[in-house]
Amino acid sequence: MVDRGAPAELLGELIHLAASRDRVVSVGPAPDYHDLRLPIRALHRPMNSAVLCGLRMTSMTAPPDVLHAWSLTAARAAYSAALRWKVPMVASAVSCESLRRHRWLVGAARNGAVALSVPTAASRNRALAMGAPEPAVAVLPPVAHALRANGVRAAVRRALGLGEREALMLAPAAMIRPAGHVYAAWAHAIVSHIHDHVRLALPGTGPAERRIRSFVRKTRFEQRTLLTGWRFGPHELMAAADLAVFLHEQDCGVGALAAAMAAGLPIIASCTAEVRDCVGHEREALLVPPRRPKEHAAAVLRLIDQVELARRLGQAAARRAADQFGLARSRAALVNIYSRLAPS
């Protein structure tokens, strides 16, 4: 189950992990996500209530073996349906921080009604600290793989108006406030006073977009900042980029980070618990404190000026991604979650 506001990172995971026999339904209108090429049945949401939508669904279709909510809003509908059908339920969280806004799920997990999936061991530990029982919380790693199509980098850069000289700095996380796009624009502005060939790409859309656009205008480097919307897919922009930044204010998901690692990009990321589960400082990335634009800019300058460092970090990140975020590993984790809930 999904809804219009389902996190892009979880939708990307669903695309890779959905089996042919799985049925995907949306609580209200389907998500506006460019890569979502799955057949989705949009369900009416009576009085804008996810709970009523879930109850209505039980009269329209046969019960599944397991209900899986790929957003915490859709989890409201899934929970009401799962109780009526008496079937097990999984709720996936993009990070443990998002669970803090939906603490009722932790209570439901304590009562044995819901299993939770989170992306890293650090997020699992936090869920346990919030009171979720150990058997109810599983790690479901994001799926990441490199784009292998020939000519993609040149084509996308040409479409963006970039020549060989320009360096493209990409901030590919979802456009939500904790993702720190403002700090990416701030660091870019500082760097632009030193190097005039650095461009910043901010793809996608989201609830923080208006704030981001306003801040970019205030930096006075709007002409060097590319807000691309959904014009390009994440893998296309990663093929075109020269480095990726994840200047999160707090943990808010690692799916885009995993994708950048798989693409072999040199990475700068905030030193949060979930990020540290994915990369090590000066091993697969440069880690920086959150909310420190001067330190963020200094890290960007290191990667631009030290070509060998950037190359080494990108290669190490790609190796780590192949080991940690392969499709087979994530699929096995999901099958294990389902089999524990509904043994065949």
Percent of the chain with pLDDT over 70: 99
Instruction: Measure the CA–CA gap between 286 and 283, rounded to whole angstroms.
Output: 8
Average pLDDT over residues 190-213: 96
Architecture of the CATH domain 2-143+327-341 = 3-Layer(aba) Sandwich (3.40)
Instruction: Measure the CA–CA gap between 125 and 275, rounded to whole angstroms.
Output: 14
How high is the pLDDT of residue 73?
87
Q: Is 308 a residue whose pLDDT tops 70?
A: yes
How high is the pLDDT of residue 72?
87
Q: Which residue has the higher pLDDT, 33 or 53?
A: 53
Average pLDDT over residues 170-196: 97
How high is the pLDDT of residue 133?
96
Q: 162, 199 in Cβ contact below 8 A?
A: yes
Q: Is 344 a residue whose pLDDT tops 70?
A: no
How high is the pLDDT of residue 136?
96
Residues with Cβ within 8 Å of 149's Cβ and at least 6 positions away in sequence, in order, are 239
How high is the pLDDT of residue 234?
87
Nearest to 193 by CA among 301, 80, 109, 62: 301
Instruction: Measure the CA–CA gap between 246 and 274, rounded to whole angstroms.
Output: 12
Mean pLDDT of the chain: 95
For the chain, the maximum distance between any two Cα atoms, rounded to a whole number of angstroms, is 63
Q: 116, 89 in Cβ contact below 8 A?
A: no
Q: Which fold has domain 152-324?
A: Rossmann fold (3.40.50)
> In the structure, what pLDDT confidence band is assigned to residue 300 with cuts at 50, 70 and 90?
very high
What sign for the dihedral angle of Cα 318, 280, 290, 168? negative
> In the structure, what pLDDT confidence band is assigned to residue 97 with cuts at 50, 70 and 90?
confident
How high is the pLDDT of residue 161?
97
Average pLDDT over residues 238-249: 97
CATH fold match for the domains 2-143+327-341 and 152-324:
yes
pLDDT digits (tens, 9 = 90+) for 247-286: 999 999 999 999 999 999 999 999 999 999 999 999 999 9
**Which residue, chain included where needed, has tokens 């009085």?**
47
How high is the pLDDT of residue 202?
98
Question: pTM higher than 0.75, yes or no?
Answer: yes
Sheet containing 243-246, strands listed edge to edge, beginning at the edge strand earlier in sequence: 225-229, 198-203, 167-170, 243-246, 267-270, 286-288
Break the chain into its structural domains and give their ranges.
Answer: 2-143+327-341, 152-324
Average pLDDT over residues 33-55: 90
Q: Is 76 a residue whose pLDDT tops 90?
A: yes
Average pLDDT over residues 277-297: 98
Token output for 37 = 């090429």
- Using CA atoms in the order 41, 45, 49, 52, what is the torsion angle rounded to 10 degrees? -80
Average pLDDT over residues 105-126: 96
In degrees, rounded to 5, the angle at the alpha carbon of residue 141 between the alpha carbons of residues 179 and 266 is 55
How high is the pLDDT of residue 145?
83
Nearest to 233 by CA among 267, 252, 256: 256
Report the 3 state secondary structure along the chain: CEECCCCHHHHHHHHHHCCCCCCEEEEECCCCCCCCCCCEEEECCHHHCHHHHHHHHCCCCCCCCCEEECCCCHHHHHHHHHHHHCCCEEEECCCHHHHHCCHHHHHHHHCCCCEEEECCHHHHHHHHHCCCCHHHEEECCCCCCCCCCCCHHHHHHHHHCCCCCCEEEECCCCCCHHHCHHHHHHHHHHHHCCCCCEEEEEECCCCCHHHHHHHHHHHCCHHHEEEEECCCCHHHHHHHCCEEEECCCCCCCCHHHHHHHHCCCCEEEECCHHHHHHCCECCCEEEECCCCHHHHHHHHHHHHHCHHHHHHHHHHHHHHHHHHCCHHHHHHHHHHHHHHHCCC
How high is the pLDDT of residue 64?
95
Q: Is 14 a residue whose pLDDT tops 70?
A: yes
Percent of the chain with pLDDT over 90: 89
